[in-house]
Amino acid sequence: MSRTLRPAVFLDRDGVLNRSLVREGKPFSPRRLDEFRLVPGAAASVRALKEAGYVVVVVTNQPDIGNGHVTAELMAVIHARLAGRVPVDDIMCCPHRREDGCDCRKPKPGMLLAAAERHGIDLERSILVGDRSGDIAAGVAAGCYTILINRRYREPANAQPHASVRSLASAVRHILARQGQGPHR
């Protein structure tokens, strides 16, 4: 019995669904529960994607776990808060440090590939929304259409997105406007 593959929207967490902490032009993840704040309209944006038929999966690098700055237990509480406020289908988290060389850490596509297997996702009909070059590179490597939420961080842009917008709400409007156009149009 084969199942029909569904399109998904993969959302990075920090800088997409919640506010990143920006210091000297570089984004950082919240390290305390009281620093975790959703961007305006995050829940409504995700609801619109789900109503349009997308599986919505959060894919987030959280090296602060591997670096010992945040516990896995605190990250679980943060993700439970996120899932309680925003109707995502899954939250996938890479806890590894950059030097660990894992397959799940973006810019590698491991989390997207695992989500595709777990949820029956058609990667060619899927979209990745991120705020950093590594997010975009992971989406491209997985065969997804990519949208950069341009936060104007001071870091190199090593991957070119298919589209660039200024907010999650704008990304969702772009996704819904292009729905049905086929992959990568």
Residue numbers annotated as active site: 12, 14
Helix (H, G, I), strand (E, B) or coil at 5: coil
Q: Classify 106 as helix, strand or coil.
A: coil
Q: Which two tokens stand for residue 125?
A: 């009909």
What is the rounded distance in angstroms from the CA atom of residue 6 to the CA atom of residue 126? 8
Write the single-letter amino acid at 70.
V
Which DSSP symbol is given to 19?
P
Give the strand pairing for 21-23 and 26-28.
Answer: antiparallel
Alpha carbon distances (Å) from 175 to 21, 24, 47, 51, 185: 26, 31, 13, 12, 11
**Residue 10 in tokens:** 């993969």
Give dist(CA 155, CA 112) in Å, integer: 23
DSSP state of 67: T
